[in-house]
Structure 1
């Protein structure tokens, strides 16, 4: 590898690292498991693999006599984007009705794509992709916060089976927040001694959730409850 080759590799690698870092900062700030370092590594790995595919003439292998080898770097891109799916699956999890981590998984997937663009030498397209991804994660997040949306929340309530069931009072408390709560699980735990029910509701703001928590806490039959707002 000469100085010219080193220069042609430095710019794609540097661009991939910066792009991954810029996207990862937002996820790190949001407190997601896949944050700053993870996004940098995904972008860097994608760029390195694409650079390797673009430089197959320098690979340490010998072709058979008389054979003409035709390289296809797009196969590497397909392999990277397929493989990143396993990493994305690791940040997606389900709680009740709610699915968490979809935005982080999408950011990892697009970070891999941006790394491939830098590795292929498509710097302008990589920069545009980085800027647009940052706008989507940051600016549109601020827009969504200001919209009159309702927060999806998983509610789990427990009560003793051997006492009076507070289920009617619990549903009344839920309907005070959401007139049409959706039912989820109905389970017996602790060797059948405790009933665990869960619902999915839509709340306007944190104040409604605090009021719901206070009302559930005041119910004599309730032994435990959990409110889990959905946030990607």
Structure 2
């Protein structure tokens, strides 16, 4: 084994380690948001993509000759199409809404970052990782700033006492605030802990709304008789 081969192997190990660090950081953000694809999935996608690129670059050097010529991009090119199968597994449709697109995109960009690390393009991989966090962390805050001037989508989680016309009152308050209800998914827990002190059933519901942001909406919903809590949840998928 020559000194050149040892040095090349050392760089390849460094590329894999870089891919692991950057892809894991993206996975941590997804897992913190309780998404289906978390730290392990992103780490494996990033390292796997890096290894495929390394194989594509160095894995066939022993068979090269004047009669054998290889395209070093052929193996790496299959990452783009192959990663779509994983991304498709986290995308699903609920009513008329598509969920999981951001997580699917994070898996896709993680594969690209891993491939860049495998190719030795560490700076573009690092910049791409930084841009990812700008998109998922700063863009939602920016949208909250400009949403008073634009129509927006939001998701509210409500807990209320069932059987007292509370749902009708909730929809009436939304209409009074010029908020349209795009979806309303309810869940009635069957365990005893879900019941109030008076033995009445507590309903948990996700209310998908569209309209101009109104700070008084949550306050007015919370003041309704029978409503226990109203919270805004992260609709970023």
TM-score (norm 1): 0.68
Please tell me whether residue 208 in structure 1 is matched to residue 217 in structure 2. yes
Contact 2:31 2:38 survives alignment (8 Å): yes
When residues 27 and 228 of structure 1 are mapped into structure 2, their CA distance, relative to the original with a 3 A threshold, is closer
The CA deviation at 1:178 is 3.8
Give 1:151's aligned residue: 153
SS at match of 1:81: helix
Deviation track 1:158-195 (CA, whole Å, cap 9, x = no partner) reads xxxxxxxx99877645423445445899xxxxxxxxxx
Give 2:35's aligned residue: 32
Is there any run of 5+ residues in structure 2 with no aligned partner, and where? 158-165, 186-205
The CA deviation at 1:99 is 1.9
Q: Distance in 2 between matches of 1:169 and 1:128?
A: 49
Give 1:176's aligned residue: 176
Among 5, 8, 11, which residue is 2:8 paired with?
A: 5
SS at match of 2:132: helix
Give 1:230's aligned residue: 235
Q: Distance in 2 between matches of 1:16 and 1:106?
A: 17
Give 1:99's aligned residue: 98
| Structure 1 residues 31-110: aligned runs within 5 Å | 31-58=34-61, 68-110=67-109
SS at match of 2:113: helix
When residues 138 and 79 of structure 1 are mapped into structure 2, their CA distance, relative to the original with a 3 A threshold, is same
Q: Distance in 2 between matches of 1:144 and 1:179?
A: 18
Give 1:17's aligned residue: 20
SS at match of 1:94: strand
Q: Distance in 2 between matches of 1:16 and 1:136?
A: 20
The CA deviation at 1:82 is 0.7
When residues 211 and 101 of structure 1 are mapped into structure 2, their CA distance, relative to the original with a 3 A threshold, is farther
Is there any run of 5+ residues in structure 1 with no aligned partner, and where? 156-165, 186-197, 219-226
TM-score (norm 2): 0.67
Q: How many residues align?
A: 209
Contact 1:151 1:205 survives alignment (8 Å): no
SS at match of 1:114: helix
